[in-house]
């Protein structure tokens, strides 16, 4: 097992990884920008190294600085966390070339799944249901027109290098296809330096359901159930829950077994998530994330398994600690992402925290790097805390969540706590009756 891990990240996820390391007897190295000198992840780590000025491109994305920090502290592995370097195949390659273990999949798997066209082809060949569309990348506008006519409108043009909604354009009918094709390629070229696009039937009211997976280097792969991440705004998730209120037990098992089978057959190492759209009782693969996800916590709450611990174990070449039959699903969990933002305009609200009081009690978990007097910098993502609540049933979970949201005090800045308090009182949310467009509709109506 590793003796020392460098955590190439900040905030609550750096803390989350530090906690798993501590419990495994592994020493930790924090890296930080000058804006984060007083951050909790720096305070808790065994050692820390300043890797640059506040802009992420000069610090948390500064590959030579991160590798140098790992080298001078004698770390044997690097955990990239979430965002930043976590899905950068070139970084994973450099980490390995410098003699460190990368706590994540192989660079080849990151690359394979990072290209949405090769990802779709790969999983489709292994029996995964995908959205009807082009066979690979579009070759021309003419190809787009012909494929759209074959699959039927509306259609969606997506960037091969995309994800997160960039370079995505809907065409409602044949009159809109040229514009959608041209705009999607232009956006893709500007955002990713790659204008390859593909086309799919546009699903109008799906749920976003993702399966949590783990594979090891001994030919094993398991799933940890699914999460429903449909409550989102502008491709930013706001609330996630596990299990999905939209699935029944046999659908859950079928999609979980299929997803685990796919990652076993490609020899995938690490944690990962396969994302589906779910509409009218059918699943459609959209992409695979080759990293830990923010909302991994709700899968931990319903299984009682530390996913970061498992992630570190498989990166060290150990087998997964559990057989699929030993992974039991217990009750319900919901996560609220709390951002330092105005809850109505969503404008960022950096500043100093005064009067911090997190909720507690049975089955209430707060993953956050906040403390009283902490100054939330303006340079990074605005998520400052995750409130994760578990209950024996969905109803118990909701009652407990409402109570915990009432208790939570984060003073001195604006946060999205008031939005969460409103959301958990909405009948549609209480009934589990929502799709990927529900939150944006709710915010418009209000």
Residues that bind ligand MV4 (CB under 6 A): 131, 156, 163-165, 168, 200-203, 208, 232, 235, 277, 286-287, 436
Q: Are 432 and 245 in contact (CB under 8 A)?
A: yes
Write out the H or E segment, with its range, that includes residue 143: helix 141-151
Q: Are 370 and 410 in contact (CB under 8 A)?
A: yes
Question: What does the alpha-carbon distance between residue 32 and residue 308 come to, in Å, rounded to a whole number?
Answer: 21
Q: Are 351 and 412 in contact (CB under 8 A)?
A: yes
Q: Which is nearer to ligand MV4, 48 or 299 (CB)?
A: 299
Does residue 269 sit in helix, strand or coil? coil
Q: Which is nearer to ligand MV4, 166 or 265 (CB)?
A: 166
Q: Are 390 and 316 in contact (CB under 8 A)?
A: no
**Bridge partners, 262 (sequence order):** none
Q: Verify whether residue 291 is a known catalytic residue.
A: yes
Catalytic residue among 227, 291, 337, 365: 291
Q: Which is nearer to ligand MV4, 274 or 389 (CB)?
A: 274
Q: Which is nearer to ligand MV4, 15 or 286 (CB)?
A: 286
- Residues whose CB is less than 8 angstroms from the CB of residue 297 and which lie 6 or more positions away in sequence, other chains included: 333, 335, 365, 367, 386, 388
Q: Which is nearer to ligand MV4, 60 or 285 (CB)?
A: 285
Question: What does the alpha-carbon distance between residue 275 and residue 329 come to, in Å, rounded to a whole number?
Answer: 20
| Residue 133: DSSP 8-state | B
Question: What does the alpha-carbon distance between residue 437 and residue 439 come to, in Å, rounded to a whole number?
Answer: 6
Residue with tokens 């749920």: 207
Question: What does the alpha-carbon distance between residue 394 and residue 391 come to, in Å, rounded to a whole number?
Answer: 6
Q: Are 129 and 285 in contact (CB under 8 A)?
A: yes
Burial of 304 (0-12, 13-18, 19+ CB in 10 A): exposed
Q: Which is nearer to ligand MV4, 32 or 337 (CB)?
A: 337
Residue with tokens 């000058």: 34
Q: Which is nearer to ligand MV4, 131 or 255 (CB)?
A: 131
Q: Within 10 A of 361 (CB to CB), how many other CB atoms are there?
A: 10
Question: How far are the Cα atoms of 13, 17, 84, 347 from residue 381, in angstroms, in the given order?
Answer: 12, 18, 11, 12
Q: Which is nearer to ligand MV4, 100 or 283 (CB)?
A: 283
CB of 426 to ligand MV4, least distance (A): 18
CB of 401 to ligand MV4, least distance (A): 22
Max Cα–Cα distance, the chain, nearest Å: 62
Question: How far are the Cα atoms of 106, 134, 135, 433 from residue 120, in angstroms, in the given order?
Answer: 18, 11, 9, 29
Q: Within 10 A of 125 (CB to CB), how many other CB atoms are there?
A: 10
Catalytic residues: 291
């Amino acid at each position: 097992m590793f003796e020392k891990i460098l955590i190439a990240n900040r905030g609550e996820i750096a803390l989350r990884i530090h906690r798993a390391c501590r419990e495994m007897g592994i020493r930790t190295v924090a890296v930080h920008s000058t804006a984060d000198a007083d951050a909790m992840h720096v305070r808790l780590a065994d050692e820390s190294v300043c890797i640059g000025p506040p802009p992420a491109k000069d610090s948390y994305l500064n590959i030579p600085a991160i590798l140098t920090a790992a080298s001078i502290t004698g770390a044997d592995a690097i955990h990239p966390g979430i965002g930043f370097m976590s899905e950068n195949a070139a970084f994973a390659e450099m980490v390995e070339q410098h003699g460190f273990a990368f706590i994540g999949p192989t660079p080849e798997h990151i690359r394979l799944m990072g290209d949405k066209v090769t990802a779709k082809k790969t999983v489709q060949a292994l029996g995964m249901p995908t959205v009807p569309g082009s066979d690979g990348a579009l070759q021309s506008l003419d190809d787009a027109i012909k494929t759209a006519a074959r699959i039927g409108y509306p259609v969606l043009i997506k960037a091969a290098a995309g994800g997160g909604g960039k370079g995505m354009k809907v065409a409602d009918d044949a009159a809109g296809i040229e514009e959608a094709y041209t705009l999607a390629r232009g956006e893709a070229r500007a955002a990713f330096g790659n204008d390859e696009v593909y086309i799919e039937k546009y699903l109008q009211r799906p749920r976003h359901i993702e399966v949590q997976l783990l594979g090891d280097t001994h030919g094993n792969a398991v799933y940890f159930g699914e999460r429903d991440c449909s409550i989102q705004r502008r491709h930013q998730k706001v609330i996630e829950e596990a299990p999905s209120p939209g699935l029944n037990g046999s659908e859950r098992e079928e999609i979980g077994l299929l997803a685990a089978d796919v990652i076993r057959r490609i020899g995938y190492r690490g944690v990962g998530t396969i994302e589906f759209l779910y509409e009218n009782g059918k699943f459609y693969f959209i992409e695979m994330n080759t990293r830990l996800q923010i909302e991994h916590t709700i899968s931990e709450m319903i299984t009682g398994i530390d996913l970061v611990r498992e992630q570190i174990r498989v990166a060290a070449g150990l087998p997964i600690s559990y057989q699929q039959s030993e992974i039991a699903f217990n009750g319900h969990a919901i996560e609220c992402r709390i951002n330092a933002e105005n809850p109505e305009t969503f404008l960022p609200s950096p500043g100093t925290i005064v009067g911090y009081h997190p909720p507690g009690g049975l089955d209430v978990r707060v993953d956050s790097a906040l403390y009283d007097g902490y100054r939330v910098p303006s340079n990074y993502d605005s998520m400052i805390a995750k409130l994760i609540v578990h209950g024996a049933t969905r109803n118990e979970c909701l009652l407990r969540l409402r109570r915990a949201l009432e208790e939570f005090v984060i003073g001195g800045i604006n946060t999205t706590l008031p939005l969460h308090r409103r959301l958990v009182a909405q009948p549609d949310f209480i009934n589990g009756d929502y799709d990927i467009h529900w939150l944006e509709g709710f915010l418009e109506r209000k």
